[in-house]
């Protein structure tokens, strides 16, 4: 995928401040610290477009980026990290729910899971909820650079089984090495161009 431009648009802390719908959108969701912002940076090949941190709870607002003047990437705050304040945890739901509900320009949600971990209740809630809202989802297993070939295969199979999907549909990804980037772009562009 050729990236001619990627730019920050807006940061939203309150559902009432969501930007007017314009270009098609792809949202990136997942547990806190799973690597959502890193994945966006890796896709657009910029190290610092989205802010990343080893400290969970870095992305606290919904952040919109405009890519190639053609579509928007939407970086969502993460869920499920016990150490973030209660206030932050409670702000997450109305903000993210407010976004997912009735967002007609949303083409798909990329749900990011850590390949090393079992599904959390937050992951399941999110996936169930996207299904109920009939939002198309692309599931990515990230941080694959941390596992050997054998371990990856094992985890991909396990996670596929617990999700009840074909393991081949899960995209293996690493924000560190760029592995899986082309495959993920293909899926994303397929969603953007699907009518």
Ligand X SMILES: Nc1nc2c(ncn2[C@@H]2O[C@H](COP(=O)(O)OP(=O)(O)OP(=O)(O)O)[C@@H](O)[C@H]2O)c(=O)[nH]1
- At how many degrees (to 10) do helices 181-193 and 36-44 cross? 90
User: According to CB under 6 A, which one of 6, 12, 29, 32 is a site residue for ligand X?
Assistant: 32
Can you read off the two tokens belonging to residue 22?
A: 């314009």
Identify any residues that bridge with 71 across adjacent strands, giving them in sequence order.
67
d(CA 174, CA 140): 10
Q: Which residues ranging from 91 to 150 are in contact with ligand X (CB under 6 A)? A: 142-143, 145-146
Q: Which residues ranging from 46 to 85 are in contact with ligand X (CB under 6 A)? A: 52-54, 56-59, 77-78
User: According to CB under 6 A, which one of 35, 72, 73, 111 is a site residue for ligand X?
Assistant: 35
Q: Which does 181 bind (CB under 5 to 8 A by kind): ligand X, Mg ion, none?
A: none
Q: Which does 54 bind (CB under 5 to 8 A by kind): Mg ion, ligand X, none?
A: ligand X
Closest CB 173 distance from Mg ion, rounded Å = 15
Name the residue nearer to Mg ion (CB basis): 57 or 156. 57
Name the residue nearer to ligand X (CB basis): 48 or 104. 48
Name the residue nearer to ligand X (CB basis): 179 or 189. 179
Question: Phi and psi (nearest 5°) for 120?
Answer: -95, 170
> Which spans of this chain sit near Mg ion (rule: CB under 5 A)?
36-37, 58-59
Are 145 and 177 contacting, i.e. CB atoms less than 8 angstroms apart? yes
Q: Which does 35 bind (CB under 5 to 8 A by kind): ligand X, Mg ion, none?
A: ligand X
- Point out which residues bind ligand X (CB under 6 A): 30, 32-38, 52-54, 56-59, 77-78, 142-143, 145-146, 174-176
């Amino acid at each position: 995928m050729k990236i001619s431009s990627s730019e920050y648009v807006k940061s939203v802390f309150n559902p009432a401040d969501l930007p007017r719908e314009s270009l098609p959108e792809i949202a990136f969701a997942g547990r806190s610290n799973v690597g959502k912002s890193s994945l966006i940076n890796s896709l657009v090949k910029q190290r610092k477009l989205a802010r990343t941190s080893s400290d969970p709870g870095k992305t606290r607002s919904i952040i919109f980026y405009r890519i190639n003047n053609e579509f928007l990437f939407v970086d969502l705050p993460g869920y499920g990290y016990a150490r973030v304040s209660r206030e932050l945890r409670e702000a997450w739901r109305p903000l993210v729910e407010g976004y997912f509900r009735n967002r007609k320009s949303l083409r798909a949600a990329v749900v990011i899971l850590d390949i090393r971990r079992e599904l959390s209740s937050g992951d399941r809630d999110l996936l169930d909820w996207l299904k109920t809202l009939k939002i198309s989802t692309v599931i990515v297993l990230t941080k694959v650079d941390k596992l050997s070939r054998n371990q990856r295969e094992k985890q991909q199979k396990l996670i596929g089984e617990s999700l009840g999907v074909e393991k081949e549909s899960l995209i293996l990804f690493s924000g560190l090495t760029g592995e899986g980037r082309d495959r993920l772009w293909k899926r994303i562009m397929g969603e953007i161009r699907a009518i």
